[in-house]
């Protein structure tokens, strides 16, 4: 199976609403189940702070010119390179694009980044989020667990 065509481009201010709405639809049900109501004003403020402190990238249609048109947004990714590891903070794929291999392809690209840096790739995922199965299939192992989250790690081959 060929990997879906996509590009990653840096987050731009005009991406905020797309990123917020996709995060809300993907994360909201889990947040509400585990912690209570999703409060838009609080979550918008959190995202506004995060996009300043973490590297966000838009997952764009590989056939669209730099993902500039609104329909080209397929998802978003947030990663951070730390001295000890590469941290995958968030990955959201638009519902219409899920179960087509795009999420796997994006994670494999991030794994290649970690491989090039010779650093482990770490992430955390809610235990009730079925995405943890995807990460397991891609070679991640649970290294720690809380009642709410799996902390997972993938190590590059030496």
Q: Edge-to-edge strand order for the sheet containing 73-81?
A: 6-10, 55-61, 73-81, 86-93, 121-126, 149-154, 141-145
Secondary structure (DSSP) of 5-28: PEEEEE--GGGHHHHHHHHHHHHH
Dist. CA 114–CA 158, nearest whole Å: 12
The pLDDT tens digits of the residues spanning 30-84 come to 999 999 999 999 999 988 888 887 789 999 987 655 444 444 689 999 999 999 9
Q: What pTM does this model have?
A: 0.87
Report how far residue 91's alpha carbon sits from residue 45's, in angstroms, rounded to the nearest whole number.
19
pLDDT tens sequence across 124-137: 999 999 999 999 99
């Amino acid at each position: 199976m060929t990997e879906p065509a996509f590009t990653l481009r840096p987050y731009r201010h005009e991406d905020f609403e797309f990123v917020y709405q996709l995060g809300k639809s993907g994360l909201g049900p889990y947040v509400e189940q585990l912690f209570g109501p999703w409060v838009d004003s609080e979550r918008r403020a959190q995202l506004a702070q995060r996009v300043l402190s973490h590297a966000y990238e838009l997952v764009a249609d590989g056939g669209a010119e730099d993902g500039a048109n609104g329909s080209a947004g397929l998802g978003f990714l947030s990663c951070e390179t730390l001295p000890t590891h590469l941290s995958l903070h968030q990955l959201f794929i638009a519902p219409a694009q899920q179960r087509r291999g795009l999420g796997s392809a994006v994670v494999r690209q991030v794994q290649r980044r970690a491989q090039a840096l010779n650093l482990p790739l770490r992430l955390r995922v809610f235990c009730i989020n079925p995405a943890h199965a995807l990460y397991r299939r891609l070679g991640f192992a649970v290294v720690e667990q809380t009642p709410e989250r799996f902390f997972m790690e993938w190590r590059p081959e030496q």
